[in-house]
Amino acid sequence: MAESKQQLSYMLKRLGEKVLVLQFPQELTKEITVQIQFYHDLFKSHPLEGILQVIPAMNTLSIRYNPLIITETAIEEFLKSNQSNEKMEDFGSPKKIYVPIIFGGKYSPDLKEVSEILKIKEEKIIDEIVGQEFYVYLNGFIAGFPYMGEINSDLSLPRKKVPRLQVPAGSVAIANNMCTIYTVESPGGWNLIGWTPMNIFDFSVSPPNRVNVGDYICYKLITSTEAENWDENMQKEWDQQWNQ
């Protein structure tokens, strides 16, 4: 049994002859996220010969391995020998990251529609988004695309029926009980309610992720003038003020 502060457990499942899956409860909780990230980082920091790939997801961790080099039993023993409350509690150092955001007009193409569907004034939607801390549960889909939650239940709505072919990088969007920031221009079906000039995924640096699993995101309002003129110097000033 894997352990955490709440003694959560996983089931070890075989997927074919070369993949083991750690299946955690089908719930969206910080405790599960911490466990999945803990075991993911464990394989990175303690590489085992024969482990080919370790893939984290919202409720699973998939381990692809070469059965001619390492056995399923050896992997299971490795997992058991590294589980303890103390290790889980000491794991990770989440950050609180403040992200500039602007709403309205071209920056919020779906805000009016979201307001009409939910029967909530646009101003109240903005206040709720800006007034909340968002926990990063997963990075995936596209480069550094953060799945953050949970938005207040009154703002929960499904993805758009017809996805856009192009969503601008920096778009802040909501769908179901999650919030995200599009890190690069890409297709997408989330509801676009705001925009940030802050680049949270930079291919030119290593590691490229500015936002990691376990971090907290807080939005801070900026003006249209600031958004239009945002550059590297403004980002440095922002980080000095908010992200030290």
Which residue type does 8 have? L
Q: Point out the least confidently predicted range of 8-12, 40-44, 172-176, 211-215.
A: 8-12
**For the segment 193-239, what is each residue's pLDDT rounded down to a tens digit?**
999 999 999 888 888 889 999 999 999 999 999 999 999 999 999 99
pLDDT of res. 172: 98
**What whole-number distance in Å separates Cα of residue 105 and Cα of residue 193?**
10
**What whole-number distance in Å separates Cα of residue 59 and Cα of residue 33?**
8
Q: From residue 119, give the alpha-carbon distance in Å to each of 125, 158, 191.
A: 10, 15, 15
When the pLDDT of each residue in the chain is averaged and rounded to a whole number, the result is 90
**For the segment 73-89, what is each residue's pLDDT rounded down to a tens digit?**
999 999 988 876 555 65
**What whole-number distance in Å separates Cα of residue 41 and Cα of residue 177?**
27
**For the segment 85-136, what is each residue's pLDDT rounded down to a tens digit?**
555 655 567 899 999 999 999 999 999 999 999 999 999 999 999 999 999 9
Closest by CA position to 52, among listed 33, 75, 73, 32? 75
Which distant-in-sequence residues (6+ apart) come within 8 Å of 5 by Cβ? Answer: 31, 85, 88, 89
pLDDT of res. 28: 85
Q: Where residue 8 falls among pLDDT bands split at 50, 70, 90? A: low
**For the segment 159-180, what is each residue's pLDDT rounded down to a tens digit?**
999 999 999 999 999 999 999 9
Q: Where residue 52 falls among pLDDT bands split at 50, 70, 90? A: very high
Q: Compute how many other C-beta atoms are within 10 angstroms of the C-beta atom of residue 166.
A: 8
The two tokens of residue 20 are 């083991």
Closest by CA position to 175, among listed 91, 98, 110? 110
Round to the nearest angstrom and report the end-to-end CA distance of the chain.
Answer: 38
Number of helical H runs and strand E runs in the chain: 7, 13
pLDDT of res. 84: 62
**For the segment 138-150, what is each residue's pLDDT rounded down to a tens digit?**
988 677 899 999 8
Q: Which 8-state DSSP code applies to residue 159? A: P
- pLDDT: which is higher, 188 or 208: 188
pLDDT of res. 83: 77
Global pTM value: 0.85
Q: From residue 213, give the alpha-carbon distance in Å to each of 94, 140, 145.
A: 8, 10, 11
Q: Tell me if 55 sits within 8 A of 62, measured CB to CB.
A: yes
The two tokens of residue 163 are 């996805």
pLDDT of res. 6: 43
Q: Tell me if 219 sits within 8 A of 130, measured CB to CB.
A: yes
> In which residue are the tokens 């920096």 written?
170
